[in-house]
Amino acid sequence: MWLKIAGSMLVFFVSSCIGFKLAARCSGRPQQIRQVISCLNSLKSYITYASAPLHEALMQCAHGIHGPIADFFHHVGMSLEENSRLSPQQAIHAVLKQMKGELMFESSELEILGVLSANLGIMSRQEQGNYLSMVIEQLEKLENEATRLRDLNTKMYRYLGICGGAAIVILLV
């Protein structure tokens, strides 16, 4: 009897945790996109106005934010500083692979970052500023879509985890 109760509580707890984890992932995506937009705005300023080298600009643009996005830009900057033969595209792809579990990006954001990395550092300062403005605009559209999805899906994932766990417990008892 006690084993059934303990097992039921464990199943209910695990399914609820899965639902809350999915809801947190869904609600964290717009926040991370907003942080990337903030960092890219700072990067644009460092490149166009301060004329900072790319590795310094990447490390400096993440000041003021915390979490995986700050770590991402810092790691890319450190990779470029430590290995001068590394292109920005290679550095960004390597760091994206390292941080795959921490970043809550979908394929559209990863595609934009991939295109950005291919064009970063090969244009004039003015062209890079214009290009970064275009990328920021695309990310803002993705952020609006992610916010809409967050509003739709966050409660659903929570309720699905709780109700799914309750249904499994009822079926097992």
Instruction: List pLDDT tens digits, range 83-112.
Output: 878 888 888 888 888 888 888 888 888 888
Are the beta carbons of 77 and 55 closer than 8 angstroms? yes
Report the alpha-carbon distance of residue 22 to residue 157 in Å, rounded: 6
105-110 long-range contacts (CB < 8 A, ≥24 apart) are 105/29, 105/32, 105/33, 106/29, 108/142, 109/33, 109/36, 109/139, 109/142
What are 67-89's pLDDT values in tens digits?
899 999 999 889 888 887 888 88
Instruction: Report the percent of the chain where pLDDT is more than 70.
Output: 100
CA angle 158, 160, 166 (to 5 degrees): 110
